[in-house]
Amino acid sequence: MTVRAAVAGASGYAGGELLRLLLAHPDVEIGALTAGSNAGSSLGEHHPNLVPLADRMLVDTAATELAGHDVVFLALPHGHSAALAAELGDDVVVVDCGADHRLNDPTAWERWYGGEHPGTWPYGIPELPGGRDGLRGANRIAVPGCFPTVSSLALAPAVAAGIVEPEAVVVAVTGSSGAGRALKPHLLSAEVMGSASVYGVGGAHRHTPELIQNLSAAAGGDVAVSFTPVLAPMARGILATCSAPVRDGVDAEAARKVYDQAYGDEPFVHVLPEGSWPQTSATVGANTVHLQLTIDWDAGRLVVVGAEDNLTKGTAGGAVQCMNLALGLDETAGLPVAGLAP
Protein backbone atom coordinates (compact mmCIF):
# COMPACT_ATOMS: atom_id res chain seq x y z
CA MET A 1 0.00 0.00 0.00
CA THR A 2 1.43 3.35 -1.07
CA VAL A 3 0.01 6.48 0.57
CA ARG A 4 0.23 9.81 -1.22
CA ALA A 5 0.70 12.59 1.33
CA ALA A 6 0.62 16.38 1.07
CA VAL A 7 2.08 18.82 3.59
CA ALA A 8 0.52 22.27 4.01
CA GLY A 9 2.91 24.70 5.67
CA ALA A 10 5.96 22.85 4.38
CA SER A 11 8.36 25.77 4.86
CA GLY A 12 7.90 25.90 8.65
CA TYR A 13 9.64 23.88 11.35
CA ALA A 14 6.80 21.38 11.80
CA GLY A 15 6.39 21.02 8.03
CA GLY A 16 10.08 20.38 7.58
CA GLU A 17 10.13 17.77 10.32
CA LEU A 18 7.12 16.04 8.78
CA LEU A 19 8.94 15.83 5.46
CA ARG A 20 12.11 14.48 7.08
CA LEU A 21 10.11 11.63 8.59
CA LEU A 22 7.97 10.99 5.51
CA LEU A 23 11.07 10.65 3.36
CA ALA A 24 12.01 7.61 5.46
CA HIS A 25 8.51 6.11 5.51
CA PRO A 26 8.33 2.92 3.45
CA ASP A 27 4.67 3.40 2.49
CA VAL A 28 4.54 7.12 1.66
CA GLU A 29 4.90 9.04 -1.57
CA ILE A 30 5.24 12.79 -0.97
CA GLY A 31 2.87 14.89 -3.04
CA ALA A 32 2.05 18.60 -2.90
CA LEU A 33 4.08 20.92 -0.69
CA THR A 34 2.32 24.18 0.09
CA ALA A 35 3.13 27.43 1.86
CA GLY A 36 1.71 30.88 2.49
CA SER A 37 4.03 33.79 1.84
CA ASN A 38 6.81 31.37 0.79
CA ALA A 39 4.81 29.93 -2.10
CA GLY A 40 6.81 30.15 -5.32
CA SER A 41 10.13 29.37 -3.67
CA SER A 42 11.92 26.03 -3.55
CA LEU A 43 11.80 23.85 -0.47
CA GLY A 44 15.60 23.84 -0.35
CA GLU A 45 15.63 27.57 0.39
CA HIS A 46 13.91 26.82 3.71
CA HIS A 47 15.07 23.28 4.51
CA PRO A 48 18.46 22.68 2.89
CA ASN A 49 18.75 19.49 4.96
CA LEU A 50 15.96 17.87 2.92
CA VAL A 51 18.20 17.18 -0.06
CA PRO A 52 15.87 14.75 -1.92
CA LEU A 53 13.15 17.42 -1.99
CA ALA A 54 15.29 20.54 -2.30
CA ASP A 55 14.22 21.32 -5.88
CA ARG A 56 10.50 20.92 -5.22
CA MET A 57 8.53 24.15 -5.53
CA LEU A 58 6.13 25.32 -2.86
CA VAL A 59 2.62 26.10 -4.10
CA ASP A 60 -0.19 28.11 -2.54
CA THR A 61 -2.00 26.52 0.39
CA ALA A 62 -5.37 25.86 -1.23
CA ALA A 63 -7.81 22.96 -1.24
CA THR A 64 -7.33 22.56 -5.00
CA GLU A 65 -3.64 21.78 -4.44
CA LEU A 66 -4.33 19.37 -1.56
CA ALA A 67 -7.23 17.45 -3.11
CA GLY A 68 -6.50 14.00 -4.53
CA HIS A 69 -4.11 12.94 -1.78
CA ASP A 70 -4.69 10.11 0.65
CA VAL A 71 -3.40 12.16 3.59
CA VAL A 72 -3.03 15.89 4.14
CA PHE A 73 -0.91 17.18 7.01
CA LEU A 74 -1.80 20.70 8.11
CA ALA A 75 1.23 22.38 9.68
CA LEU A 76 -0.44 25.78 9.79
CA PRO A 77 -0.82 28.58 12.34
CA HIS A 78 -3.66 28.18 14.82
CA GLY A 79 -6.99 29.20 13.34
CA HIS A 80 -6.11 28.33 9.74
CA SER A 81 -6.88 24.61 9.63
CA ALA A 82 -10.63 24.37 10.12
CA ALA A 83 -11.74 26.25 7.01
CA LEU A 84 -9.25 24.46 4.79
CA ALA A 85 -10.15 21.02 6.16
CA ALA A 86 -13.83 21.73 5.52
CA GLU A 87 -13.03 21.94 1.80
CA LEU A 88 -11.46 18.48 1.72
CA GLY A 89 -13.61 15.39 1.32
CA ASP A 90 -14.12 12.59 3.79
CA ASP A 91 -12.01 10.35 1.58
CA VAL A 92 -8.92 12.32 2.66
CA VAL A 93 -7.30 11.74 6.05
CA VAL A 94 -6.58 15.21 7.46
CA VAL A 95 -4.02 15.42 10.26
CA ASP A 96 -4.05 18.85 11.92
CA CYS A 97 -0.85 19.81 13.73
CA GLY A 98 -2.46 23.05 14.95
CA ALA A 99 -4.80 23.62 17.87
CA ASP A 100 -8.06 24.05 15.99
CA HIS A 101 -9.60 20.68 16.89
CA ARG A 102 -7.88 19.61 20.13
CA LEU A 103 -10.30 20.85 22.78
CA ASN A 104 -13.60 19.14 23.61
CA ASP A 105 -15.17 22.07 25.45
CA PRO A 106 -16.44 24.94 23.26
CA THR A 107 -16.32 27.29 26.26
CA ALA A 108 -12.65 26.50 26.83
CA TRP A 109 -11.95 27.06 23.14
CA GLU A 110 -13.61 30.46 23.17
CA ARG A 111 -11.71 31.48 26.30
CA TRP A 112 -8.26 30.41 25.11
CA TYR A 113 -8.45 30.90 21.35
CA GLY A 114 -11.46 33.11 20.68
CA GLY A 115 -14.16 32.78 18.04
CA GLU A 116 -16.49 29.90 17.34
CA HIS A 117 -15.35 26.43 18.32
CA PRO A 118 -14.43 24.58 15.09
CA GLY A 119 -15.29 21.15 16.48
CA THR A 120 -13.39 18.29 18.10
CA TRP A 121 -11.44 15.60 16.24
CA PRO A 122 -9.97 12.32 17.53
CA TYR A 123 -7.01 13.23 19.71
CA GLY A 124 -3.53 12.14 18.72
CA ILE A 125 -1.77 10.61 21.73
CA PRO A 126 -2.17 6.87 21.09
CA GLU A 127 -0.56 5.95 24.42
CA LEU A 128 -3.27 7.60 26.52
CA PRO A 129 -6.12 5.32 27.71
CA GLY A 130 -8.35 4.56 24.73
CA GLY A 131 -6.20 6.68 22.43
CA ARG A 132 -5.60 4.10 19.73
CA ASP A 133 -9.25 3.11 19.51
CA GLY A 134 -10.20 6.65 18.52
CA LEU A 135 -7.50 6.89 15.87
CA ARG A 136 -7.91 3.63 13.96
CA GLY A 137 -9.83 4.39 10.79
CA ALA A 138 -10.21 8.09 11.61
CA ASN A 139 -10.25 10.55 8.71
CA ARG A 140 -9.76 13.64 10.89
CA ILE A 141 -7.07 13.79 13.60
CA ALA A 142 -6.02 16.53 16.01
CA VAL A 143 -2.32 16.34 16.85
CA PRO A 144 -1.69 17.43 20.47
CA GLY A 145 0.45 20.32 21.57
CA CYS A 146 4.09 19.56 22.33
CA PHE A 147 3.84 20.36 26.05
CA PRO A 148 0.68 18.27 26.60
CA THR A 149 2.27 15.28 24.84
CA VAL A 150 5.16 14.80 27.26
CA SER A 151 3.37 16.13 30.35
CA SER A 152 0.21 14.08 29.83
CA LEU A 153 2.23 10.91 29.31
CA ALA A 154 4.23 11.75 32.44
CA LEU A 155 1.19 12.01 34.70
CA ALA A 156 -1.63 10.00 33.09
CA PRO A 157 -0.69 6.62 34.62
CA ALA A 158 -0.56 8.13 38.11
CA VAL A 159 -3.92 9.89 37.93
CA ALA A 160 -5.55 6.92 36.18
CA ALA A 161 -4.36 4.54 38.90
CA GLY A 162 -5.38 6.94 41.67
CA ILE A 163 -1.95 6.97 43.32
CA VAL A 164 -1.90 10.78 43.43
CA GLU A 165 -4.33 13.52 44.32
CA PRO A 166 -6.01 15.21 41.32
CA GLU A 167 -3.83 18.30 41.31
CA ALA A 168 -0.63 18.64 39.34
CA VAL A 169 2.23 21.08 38.88
CA VAL A 170 4.11 21.07 35.57
CA VAL A 171 7.23 23.12 34.86
CA ALA A 172 8.52 22.46 31.35
CA VAL A 173 11.71 23.77 29.77
CA THR A 174 11.60 24.12 25.99
CA GLY A 175 13.67 25.23 23.03
CA SER A 176 12.80 28.14 20.78
CA SER A 177 11.60 26.04 17.81
CA GLY A 178 8.35 25.46 19.68
CA ALA A 179 7.29 29.01 18.80
CA GLY A 180 7.50 28.34 15.07
CA ARG A 181 9.61 29.91 12.36
CA ALA A 182 8.00 33.36 12.15
CA LEU A 183 10.37 36.13 13.22
CA LYS A 184 9.84 37.23 16.82
CA PRO A 185 12.22 39.71 18.55
CA HIS A 186 12.29 37.80 21.85
CA LEU A 187 13.47 34.67 20.03
CA LEU A 188 16.48 36.26 18.33
CA SER A 189 19.70 34.44 19.24
CA ALA A 190 21.01 37.52 21.08
CA GLU A 191 17.93 37.41 23.32
CA VAL A 192 17.84 33.64 23.90
CA MET A 193 21.49 32.64 24.23
CA GLY A 194 22.81 32.68 27.78
CA SER A 195 19.36 33.23 29.29
CA ALA A 196 16.34 31.31 30.53
CA SER A 197 12.94 32.96 30.92
CA VAL A 198 9.38 32.04 31.82
CA TYR A 199 6.28 32.91 29.82
CA GLY A 200 2.57 32.16 29.99
CA VAL A 201 2.84 32.18 33.79
CA GLY A 202 -0.15 31.75 36.10
CA GLY A 203 -2.25 29.53 33.88
CA ALA A 204 -1.93 31.81 30.87
CA HIS A 205 -0.48 29.32 28.36
CA ARG A 206 -2.90 27.89 25.80
CA HIS A 207 -1.76 24.34 26.43
CA THR A 208 -3.15 24.48 29.98
CA PRO A 209 -6.73 23.50 29.06
CA GLU A 210 -5.38 20.66 26.92
CA LEU A 211 -3.40 19.30 29.87
CA ILE A 212 -6.45 19.57 32.10
CA GLN A 213 -8.58 17.81 29.47
CA ASN A 214 -6.15 14.91 29.08
CA LEU A 215 -5.47 14.30 32.77
CA SER A 216 -9.12 14.68 33.75
CA ALA A 217 -10.09 12.08 31.15
CA ALA A 218 -7.43 9.69 32.47
CA ALA A 219 -8.54 10.25 36.07
CA GLY A 220 -12.26 10.03 35.37
CA GLY A 221 -12.77 13.35 37.19
CA ASP A 222 -11.49 16.89 37.37
CA VAL A 223 -7.73 17.40 37.70
CA ALA A 224 -6.31 20.86 38.47
CA VAL A 225 -3.10 21.77 36.66
CA SER A 226 -0.63 24.59 37.28
CA PHE A 227 1.59 24.88 34.19
CA THR A 228 4.67 27.06 33.74
CA PRO A 229 6.72 26.94 30.52
CA VAL A 230 10.37 28.02 30.51
CA LEU A 231 12.27 29.10 27.40
CA ALA A 232 15.87 27.82 27.38
CA PRO A 233 18.76 28.53 25.00
CA MET A 234 18.39 25.46 22.80
CA ALA A 235 16.77 24.85 19.43
CA ARG A 236 14.56 21.88 20.23
CA GLY A 237 13.49 19.64 23.06
CA ILE A 238 11.27 19.71 26.15
CA LEU A 239 12.16 18.63 29.68
CA ALA A 240 9.03 18.55 31.84
CA THR A 241 9.09 18.16 35.63
CA CYS A 242 5.63 17.05 36.70
CA SER A 243 4.45 16.42 40.25
CA ALA A 244 1.33 15.67 42.27
CA PRO A 245 0.62 14.85 45.94
CA VAL A 246 1.08 11.14 46.51
CA ARG A 247 -1.70 9.30 48.30
CA ASP A 248 -1.23 7.47 51.58
CA GLY A 249 0.04 3.93 51.29
CA VAL A 250 1.79 4.44 47.95
CA ASP A 251 5.51 3.74 47.91
CA ALA A 252 8.16 4.04 45.18
CA GLU A 253 7.86 0.38 44.19
CA ALA A 254 4.09 0.64 43.72
CA ALA A 255 4.44 3.85 41.71
CA ARG A 256 7.02 2.34 39.40
CA LYS A 257 4.85 -0.73 38.89
CA VAL A 258 2.04 1.54 37.66
CA TYR A 259 4.33 3.07 35.04
CA ASP A 260 5.86 -0.23 33.97
CA GLN A 261 2.38 -1.64 33.41
CA ALA A 262 1.26 1.45 31.49
CA TYR A 263 4.24 1.70 29.15
CA GLY A 264 6.01 -1.66 29.23
CA ASP A 265 4.80 -2.58 25.74
CA GLU A 266 4.88 0.91 24.23
CA PRO A 267 7.37 1.39 21.36
CA PHE A 268 7.84 5.12 21.91
CA VAL A 269 7.43 5.74 25.65
CA HIS A 270 10.37 4.52 27.71
CA VAL A 271 10.53 4.39 31.51
CA LEU A 272 14.27 4.59 32.13
CA PRO A 273 16.16 2.29 34.50
CA GLU A 274 16.23 3.48 38.08
CA GLY A 275 18.88 6.11 38.65
CA SER A 276 18.85 7.27 35.01
CA TRP A 277 17.12 10.59 34.31
CA PRO A 278 15.75 11.95 31.03
CA GLN A 279 17.70 14.45 29.00
CA THR A 280 16.53 16.27 25.91
CA SER A 281 19.63 15.39 23.89
CA ALA A 282 18.72 11.70 24.02
CA THR A 283 15.40 12.31 22.28
CA VAL A 284 16.42 14.77 19.54
CA GLY A 285 15.10 13.51 16.20
CA ALA A 286 13.38 10.50 17.80
CA ASN A 287 9.68 9.81 18.22
CA THR A 288 10.21 9.01 21.89
CA VAL A 289 9.33 10.18 25.37
CA HIS A 290 11.78 9.26 28.13
CA LEU A 291 10.38 9.12 31.67
CA GLN A 292 11.73 8.68 35.19
CA LEU A 293 9.92 8.94 38.51
CA THR A 294 10.54 9.16 42.22
CA ILE A 295 8.73 10.16 45.38
CA ASP A 296 9.81 13.29 47.24
CA TRP A 297 8.95 12.05 50.72
CA ASP A 298 9.58 15.37 52.46
CA ALA A 299 7.12 17.13 50.15
CA GLY A 300 4.79 14.13 49.84
CA ARG A 301 4.79 14.33 46.04
CA LEU A 302 5.28 11.97 43.14
CA VAL A 303 7.77 13.57 40.74
CA VAL A 304 7.89 12.43 37.11
CA VAL A 305 10.40 13.92 34.67
CA GLY A 306 9.83 13.54 30.93
CA ALA A 307 11.89 14.46 27.88
CA GLU A 308 10.90 14.64 24.22
CA ASP A 309 11.80 16.40 21.00
CA ASN A 310 9.04 18.97 20.58
CA LEU A 311 9.25 18.75 16.78
CA THR A 312 9.29 14.94 16.57
CA LYS A 313 7.16 13.11 19.16
CA GLY A 314 5.74 16.49 20.20
CA THR A 315 4.46 17.33 16.70
CA ALA A 316 5.50 15.71 13.41
CA GLY A 317 6.37 12.25 14.73
CA GLY A 318 3.12 12.11 16.66
CA ALA A 319 1.30 13.11 13.46
CA VAL A 320 2.91 10.32 11.42
CA GLN A 321 2.20 7.82 14.20
CA CYS A 322 -1.47 8.83 14.07
CA MET A 323 -1.54 8.54 10.28
CA ASN A 324 -0.16 5.03 10.54
CA LEU A 325 -2.94 4.04 12.93
CA ALA A 326 -5.66 5.72 10.87
CA LEU A 327 -4.63 3.89 7.70
CA GLY A 328 -3.91 0.52 9.26
CA LEU A 329 -0.16 0.74 8.65
CA ASP A 330 2.52 -0.44 11.05
CA GLU A 331 2.32 2.12 13.86
CA THR A 332 6.09 2.42 14.03
CA ALA A 333 6.69 2.85 10.28
CA GLY A 334 8.98 5.74 9.42
CA LEU A 335 9.51 6.68 13.05
CA PRO A 336 12.99 6.58 14.64
CA VAL A 337 13.54 5.62 18.26
CA ALA A 338 17.25 6.46 18.31
CA GLY A 339 18.03 10.07 19.13
CA LEU A 340 20.85 12.22 17.77
CA ALA A 341 23.42 12.58 20.53
CA PRO A 342 25.68 14.35 21.21
Cα–Cα distance measured from residue 323 to residue 326, given in angstroms and rounded to the nearest whole number? 5
Which strands make up the sheet holding 224-231, listed edge to edge?
A: 197-198, 224-231, 167-174, 238-245, 301-308, 289-296, 269-271
For the chain, give the number of residues. 342
- What pLDDT was estimated at residue 79? 84
- What pLDDT was estimated at residue 176? 75
Is 147-308 in the same CATH topology as 3-143+315-327? no
In angstroms and rounded to an integer, the radius of gyration of the C-alpha atoms of the chain is: 19
Thinking of the domain 147-308, which architecture would CATH place it in? 2-Layer Sandwich (3.30)
Quick check: is 146 catalytic? yes
- What pLDDT was estimated at residue 178? 62
Contact 81, 143 (CB under 8 A): no
- What pLDDT was estimated at residue 190? 57
Query: Which residues partner with 228 through β-bridges?
Result: 171
For the chain, the domains span 3-143+315-327, 147-308
Contact 163, 244 (CB under 8 A): no
- What pLDDT was estimated at residue 161? 98
pTM of the complete model beyond 0.85: yes
Cα–Cα distance measured from residue 328 to residue 187, given in angstroms and rounded to the nearest whole number? 40
Contact 88, 22 (CB under 8 A): no
CB neighbourhood size of 222 (10 A): 10
Nearest alpha-carbon partner for 292 in 224, 230, 242: 242
* Fold for the domain defined by 3-143+315-327: Rossmann fold (3.40.50)
Query: Which residues partner with 29 through β-bridges?
Result: 4
pLDDT in tens, 14-36: 999 999 999 999 999 999 999 99
Cα–Cα distance measured from residue 51 to residue 329, given in angstroms and rounded to the nearest whole number? 26
- Name the DSSP letter for residue 257: H
- What pLDDT was estimated at residue 182? 61
- What pLDDT was estimated at residue 184? 59
Half-sphere exposure of 203 (CA within 13 A, CB side): 8
Contact 120, 140 (CB under 8 A): no
- Name the DSSP letter for residue 84: H
End-to-end CA distance of the chain: give it in Å, rounded. Answer: 36
Residue 308 has phi, psi (to 5 degrees) of -155, 165
- What pLDDT was estimated at residue 78? 83
Q: Which positions of the chain have pLDDT values less than 70? A: 177-192
